[in-house]
Amino acid sequence: MPQAHYFLHHHPLDPPSRRVRLALAEKDLLCELILEKPWEPRDEYLKLNPSGEVPTLIIEPAEARSKTIALSNAGAICEYLEETISARSLLGDDPLERAEIRRLISWFEDKMYREVTSHLVEEKALKRLQGEGGPDSARIHTAYHNIHAHMSYIGWLTEHRNWLAGDDITLADLAAAAQLSIIDYLGDVPWDKHHEAKEWYARIKSRPSFRSLLGDHIAGLLPPRHYADLDF
Amino acid sequence: MPQAHYFLHHHPLDPPSRRVRLALAEKDLLCELILEKPWEPRDEYLKLNPSGEVPTLIIEPAEARSKTIALSNAGAICEYLEETISARSLLGDDPLERAEIRRLISWFEDKMYREVTSHLVEEKALKRLQGEGGPDSARIHTAYHNIHAHMSYIGWLTEHRNWLAGDDITLADLAAAAQLSIIDYLGDVPWDKHHEAKEWYARIKSRPSFRSLLGDHIAGLLPPRHYADLDF
């Protein structure tokens, strides 16, 4: 049977882009990655997504007569995949369960990003990639302080549940892992202080869906040696 | 038939809280409002929602044997209401249409909030309510500059569609109206420069679901006279 083709406009330091890559891979959908710099969006990309943000998923259907689809925003993309691809549900099927998964996605993608990831990515990576001068150490220290509460929350959730939102792996796990995988690329996850969170991350890191993320290499910004190591 | 009881923990200057109020009212669900100050969350509220953020919706089911439910995060709450309450769909039924609605919700609730609403709410209202000194005029001017692109985008959308995401009113309209209604409370919407956006807002403002918002009065912070006026 002919398959649709997937192209993902993304950036490796953008957590929602990573969440979509993981969701596609969990559903066994191969996608071709197209690198975008959201801080200087190309005109051609702005036609696809006027916000200039990543990710945007392009779906070229197998039937030549069907229209190519462009979907922007990780939340919209992941919900669309849940609604149209039956392989491996990542959102549960009970409304209450789904509400808990969506609450946790926002916890990690909005709250943890604002309190931790954004500071580290902007100060330690984007400023360098954009040639914008030295990092603001106050923001880095804020992130180092804030990360513990989020690691503890992951630990607390996994003490009460098999995965973050319940028995099965869901988009909530992918959203949390997307944040941590970027912070880990920057070498800033205090693994030795958070054993439960580390045990959970080791489980998700060893899944086939994670391989593409572990192969990421950003020019001018090498990850620490343990980044791609399943025994970290 | 006995009805469930709804209680919404909210803040009138929080756009996602307003979006949930509008969604409940569009579905003809009455709710009792409970005021929270997310910048100094009560211990009791943190037990309901450990993030301390608003809104949180409490649903007390009609049957005494059923459990009371607490749902946090506007996105999770609105999706739950779509999945469980059949009255007036606010999310369409075609996956592509739903993806467009969700993209626009994020446009207004994340991007417009970050670029416009948050600056105005924090500098002109929250600092005063929290006794934190004078406003930072640079942030206010940033918001005054950025708001035009969002008003133009609303205008552009309504030139091509009846409502923001298509033929019918959806959560995308409620998300945009939630931002604008707060900025309007602060007297900062440049209505005279954006006729299409004004025409769209006049339509949504005259809906019965909007009445509760137009009755909002925040102690120490009066809205301009036109705020509750349907002919503004």
Give the nearest partner residue to B79 out of A50, A53, A102, using CB atoms.
A102
How confident is the model over A200-211, as a mean pLDDT? Answer: 98
Q: How sure is the predictor about B1, in pLDDT bands with cuts at 50, 70 and 90?
A: low
Answer whether residue A1 shows pLDDT above 70: no
Q: Is A20 on the interface with B (CB under 8 A)?
A: no
Answer whether residue A17 shows pLDDT above 90: yes
Query: Cis omega before residue A95 (within 30°)?
Result: no
Strand partners, B218: B221
Extract the tokens encoding B117: 């609403």
Q: Is B14 on the interface with A (CB under 8 A)?
A: no
Write down all domains in chain B, each with its CATH number in brackets: 5-84 (3.40.30.10), 95-214 (1.20.1050.10)
The pLDDT value recorded for residue B151 is 98
Q: Is B10 on the interface with A (CB under 8 A)?
A: no
What digits encode the pLDDT tens for the residues A103-133? 999 999 999 999 999 999 999 999 998 888 8
ipTM surpasses cut 0.90: yes
The pLDDT value recorded for residue B85 is 95
How confident is the model over A134-153, as a mean pLDDT? Answer: 97
Report the C-alpha gap between B119 and B141 in whole angstroms.
9
To which H or E segment does residue B8 belong?
A: strand B5-10
How confident is the model over B123-150, as a mean pLDDT? Answer: 95
* Sheet arrangement for strand B69-72: B31-35, B5-10, B56-60, B69-72
Please provide residue A218's backbone torsions phi and psi, each rounded to the nearest 5 degrees.
-95, 125
Please provide residue A5's backbone torsions phi and psi, each rounded to the nearest 5 degrees.
-105, 135
Chain A residues within 8 A of B95 when measuring between CB atoms: 80, 83-84
Report the C-alpha gap between B87 and A30 in whole angstroms.
39
The pLDDT value recorded for residue B6 is 98
The closest alpha carbon to B180, from B95, B107, B116, belongs to: B116
How many Cα atoms within 13 Å fall on the side-chain side of residue B123?
A: 17
Q: What is the DSSP letter of A94?
A: S
Neighbouring residues of B165: CB distance < 8 A, sequence distance ≥ 6: B92, B97, B100, B101, B104, B157, B172, B173
What digits encode the pLDDT tens for the residues B94-106? 999 999 999 999 9
Chain A residues within 8 A of B94 when measuring between CB atoms: none
The pLDDT value recorded for residue B131 is 87
The pLDDT value recorded for residue B150 is 98
How confident is the model over B161-186, as a mean pLDDT? Answer: 98
Q: How sure is the predictor about B61, in pLDDT bands with cuts at 50, 70 and 90?
A: very high
